[in-house]
Structure 1
Amino acid sequence: MKRISMFLGAMVFATLAWAEQSTVAPAPNGITIPEGYKDWRLIAVTQRPETNTLRAILGNDVAIAAARAGNTNPWPDGAVLAKVVVKQKNHPRYPTAQVPGEFVHAEFMIKDSAKFASTGGWGFARWLGEKLEPYGKDANFVQECVGCHTTVQQTDWVFTAPISLP
């Protein structure tokens, strides 16, 4: 268990070590990167073997409180989930261990049932690469997000299952 905790902590800190961005353009739908998200706490981790990526799912205080209380279906308004995605690579001294590599992108889901009613109550945004370039040519990029998340409508449009801590 200690090894898992050390891995999760190392993943989050290594993943968030990229340079601070002072002026990042908003997503095409007007969503901006939430202030202070790099200091949010860990909700879950995932691995996507087909893309060779690791993902740290972080939450703002509202999301963390909901996750700890088991109130995630539906998530409360004000919850914000951040998914920080990095390429995975083998640890140089422990080759079977997968560790964070190059930063790929950061995604956000913002719960506001009224404002984002047409997209399941969630606002979606993504920024690509170290330069945090907004994803999508126009605001319709969210249809791609909704199309994927439609498969998890029964869990309030969220794939992430928070880590259950004793």
Structure 2
Amino acid sequence: MKKINVLLLTSSLAFSLASVADDKSVIPPAPNGIEFPADYPNWRVISISHRTDNNSMRTILGNDIAIEAARAGNTNPWPDGAVLGKVVWKQTAKKHWPSAIAPDKFVHAEFMFRDSKKWAGNGTGWGWARWVGTQQKPYGKDAGFSQECISCHTPVKGNDWVFTTPAMFPTVFK
């Protein structure tokens, strides 16, 4: 009887979590209408970065299209359908290894969605979105917030507006 109750409870919890993950109203869309990509924690790593100016560390993730493009060196321009995600944490020194840094407080998750036709009007071919804090609150008061993103990324306009340098693996892994 205990096994059945545990199985029912586990199944019920899994169903509840799946329902929440499927309910896009849990995390509102960005002010420009871009939906939160709830599956991004399952994406693969394209690169990492460390910002010394604000003591933060980032993992840059990609959906399958972005991963394939990064591994093939097809990133200028990135193909339509590629989505890049940057997950940002404040950094902290490791307790038992102070010369090493580790993620601390979660800051935000931000995304670039490549669609050269849909976002041709902003001059980049990218849609931009950010969700802040552990509550994943959409960033920006209105759809114009993405101009901040474009302004920040202007120095890398010649790199298809992308700061990320994909981390290359040894050829044995290709």
Alignment correspondent of 2:11 = none
2-side partners of 1:155 and 1:33: how far apart? 25
Residue of structure 1 in register with 2:58 after alignment? 55
SS of 1:95's partner is strand
Match of 2:103 in 1: 100
Instruction: Tell me the equivalent position of 1:34.
Output: 37
Identical columns (%): 57
Amino acid at match of 2:92: K
Give 3-state SS (helix, strand or coil) of 1:108's partner: strand
| Residue matched to 1:13 | none
**Residue in structure 2 matched with residue 15 of structure 1 by the alignment:** none
Gaps of 5+ in 2: 1-19
SS of alignment partner, residue 99 of structure 2: coil
Structure 1 outlier segments of 4+, above 3 Å: none
Give distance in 2, aligned partners of 1:118 and 1:155. 18
Aligned to 2:145: 141
Partner of 1:66: 69
Aligned-residue Cα RMSD (Å) equals 1.2
Q: For the residues of structure 2 that align with 1:96 and 1:156, how far apart are their CA atoms? A: 35
Give 1 or 2 for the bigger CA radius of gyration: 2
Q: CA deviation at 1:90?
A: 0.4
- Give the distance between the partners of 1:158 and 1:51, measured in 2 at CA: 20
Q: Which of the two has greater helix per residue?
A: 2
* Number of equivalenced pairs: 147
* Deviation of 1:35 (Å): 3.2
Amino acid at match of 1:27: A
Cα distance in structure 1, aligned partners of 2:161 and 2:137? 25
